[in-house]
Structure 1
Amino acid sequence: MEKLLDISVVVPLYNEEESLPELVEWIDRVVRGEGLSYEVILVDDGSNDNSWQVVESLRGRYPSVKGIKFARNYGKSAALYCGFAEAAGEVVITMDADLQDSPDEIPALRHMILDEGYDLVSGWKKKRYDPVGKRWPSKFFNWTARTVSGIKLHDFNCGLKAYRRKVVKSIEVYGEMHRYIPILAKQAGFKRIGEKVVEHRARKYGFSKFGMERMVKGYLDLITVSFMSRFGRSPMYFFGGLGTLMFLIGGCTTVWVIGAKLYKQAHELPLRAVTDQPLFYLSLLAVVLGVQLFLAGFLGELINRASSERNKYLIEKTLK
């Protein structure tokens, strides 16, 4: 059985050559001061500056530094996924490479995981140094995420987080889902999710790599993760239920339109041809859509049945 380190620090980075030496030196000073064994995993997400050369030089100075370099820019979620796969620490800490997250928070975050029993602790940048145009959309985004997920966190997107090892080995971060790691952890069965107010520092080097397009992607991802949490294992419940409802509404309306015509015809009342009534075509459309949705749910079940993840469950304890 492999010997675990006390802490793994996973740092995704993209064009952060100036901040890396200071960040690694700071992490080393804090963690060594606590007498802990550690590793720093620097994941270069396809930087086009000298970031990788800096990582290589830091590896020579700090044996605890490890590096992963992508051939191109895949995004923060991919960097975290590879960092989590490599992590060998009992507690895994993530932070951004731009020095806006303080390594001084590491001991307290580790304490909350090991001594207070949390599975995941997310940082809350209560006082932010971002411009107003970035803060207010972030507040609205976090309010929406809290409402949809039921997880009472103020800052879902904070890069400074701490995880119990079992959490990062049980979740799969993909696409742009790094914003919703607490939701992914909750879906996997880790419900002890906490929050800690952390220091947010003004950016010292470079500039932000994220634009306003992340807000659009963020809401689309929120819809995805919310849908997957409810219907990921049983898509028929959603598509089949909605399809059946539309089929019944369309079918009943069609019968009513035709029945109304026959009644008026039998009693020699004024009537319109069925094909002249827009309601008849709307009813047929509802029937067709209902059948298609039902078939989508059926196909989803067939695909899900063939998935290797279908019977993957988190087992907390066993007695034999």
Structure 2
Amino acid sequence: MAKGVGRMKSPKPIPSTINNIAVVIPAHNEDGCIELTVKHLHLELTANKVPHEIVVVDDGSTDNTWQILINLTKEIPTLKPVKNLGPHGFGRAVICGLQNFDADAVTIMMADNSDDANDVVRYWQKLNEGYDCVFGSRFMKGGGVIDYPIHKLIMNRMANLFVRIMFNISYNDTTNAFKAYRKTVIEGCAPFISPHFNLTVEIPLKAMVRGFSWTVIPITWKNRRTGISKLKIQEMGSRYLFICLYIWLEKTLTRDYRVKPDEPRVTAAQPPEVIERAKVETAESVTAESVKTEPTTKEVTTNSVKSEEQSKS
């Protein structure tokens, strides 16, 4: 296939703003870093005047993670600790957080302070340009990684190349969890079926396939300084493959019903005044077309006189 032919692209964003943003952070035995992560995030968002809430989901921790979160609520009023009382797993913990946030948009962030809190501010700014989703890329100009284990880096690049080819997209960091979505995207893509790290692929691919607008910005990532990574690469191959095939089937079977990138859209994600304005503009265009196509009274009268004269002659 020629480069760019049939490539899946984002629809045009519809200008609309959001009032606040939530940050969902799944945590399992993260007592060595969760306090620093939450404090740094709160400080960055407050300094940039971003209205926010921080939803940390304790996913069955056996260390002091929960107690640390409870103590932090006295210092950080926007912190909302939640316990995942159901089955555990990264995906299940994130889904629990997505069911418990109360904001216009949400970012999914790691508990180990590997994601840059300033990038959340930049996500917020892009969402306020009207995009439904903002994706970060560590592998584009301006992005970067620090201390990324070489074997994980190789596997990451291979997995993302597979996704790019399968879905014919230019985005090159789909497997990274650190992304931002309007609440309408989360509602429009639910229910989610990935219990583990494959949720990081399910949400963005569903959003793209279902016609939500998206953009990509460069982000940075650094390896954790404390604790143990919960991602087990050897266990994830089949799970990533399953969810990719699942969404690829949806993309293939519904391609004729999706909004094209260059088509105007009116969605429930827009404020009422935007929807009403679009309706008015549509009505005005229809009226204008009617005026062009319908004959005027003068034209009708003239045509009638001509017909009578022809019949007399």
Q: Same fold (TM over 0.5)?
A: yes
**In structure 1, distance between residues paired with 2:61 and 2:244:** 28
Which piece of structure 1 moves more, 120-129 or 6-15?
Answer: 120-129
2:241 pairs with 1:227: no
Q: Deviations over 1:245-299 (max 9, x none)?
A: xxxxxxxxxxxxxxxxxxxxxxxxxxxxxxxxxxxxxxxxxxxxxxxxxxxxxxx
Larger-Rg structure:
1
How far apart are residue 61 of structure 1 and its match?
Answer: 2.0
How far apart are residue 315 of structure 1 and its match?
Answer: 5.0
Residue type of the partner of 1:133?
A: H
**In structure 2, distance between residues paired with 1:152 and 1:45:** 34
SS at 2:188 equivalent = coil
SS at 2:74 equivalent = helix
1:169 to 187, 207, 216: 187
2:158 pairs with 1:151: no
1:65 to 79, 88, 91: 79
How far apart are residue 72 of structure 1 and its match?
Answer: 5.7
Q: Deviations over 1:71-103 (max 9, x none)?
A: 365222222222222222223121111111010
**In structure 2, distance between residues paired with 1:51 and 1:215:** 29
**In structure 2, distance between residues paired with 1:95 and 1:87:** 14
How far apart are residue 60 of structure 1 and its match?
Answer: 2.3
How far apart are residue 165 of structure 1 and its match?
Answer: 2.3
Count of matched residue positions in the alignment of Structure 1 and Structure 2: 237
How far apart are residue 232 of structure 1 and its match?
Answer: 8.0
2:143 pairs with 1:130: no
**In structure 2, distance between residues paired with 1:164 and 1:232:** 23
2:131 pairs with 1:118: yes
Residue type of the partner of 1:165?
A: K
2:38 pairs with 1:24: yes
Q: 4+ runs of 1 displaced by more than 6 Å?
A: none
* 1:104–1:137 CA distance, 2 compared to 1 (3 A): same
Gaps of 5+ in 1: 234-313
RMSD of equivalent CA atoms: 2.4
Which piece of structure 1 moves more, 65-74 or 102-111?
Answer: 65-74
Q: Is the 8 A contact 2:105 2:182 kept in 1?
A: yes
How far apart are residue 19 of structure 1 and its match?
Answer: 1.0
2:61 to 47, 54, 64: 47
1:283 aligns with none
**In structure 1, distance between residues paired with 2:25 and 2:193:** 16
Structure showing greater relative contact order (alpha-carbon pairs closer than 8 Å, 6 or more residues apart)? 2
Q: Is the 8 A contact 2:176 2:200 kept in 1?
A: no
Residue type of the partner of 1:206?
A: G
**In structure 2, distance between residues paired with 1:60 and 1:74:** 27
Q: Where is the helix percentage greater, Structure 1 or Structure 2?
A: 1
Q: Is the 8 A contact 2:27 2:56 kept in 1?
A: yes
Q: Deviations over 1:43-62 (max 9, x none)?
A: 11222222111121112221
TM-score by length of 1: 0.68
**In structure 2, distance between residues paired with 1:163 and 1:67:** 21
TM-score by length of 2: 0.69
Sequence identity of aligned pairs in percent? 24
**In structure 2, distance between residues paired with 1:225 and 1:51:** 35
1:77 to 91, 95, 108: 91
Residue type of the partner of 1:6?
A: N
**What pairs up with 1:120-269 in 2 under 5 angstroms?**
120-126=133-139, 127-128=144-145, 129-172=147-190, 173-175=192-194, 176-190=198-212, 192-212=213-233, 213-231=235-253
Q: Deviations over 1:133-177 (max 9, x none)?
A: 111111111011111223321111212211122112222222233
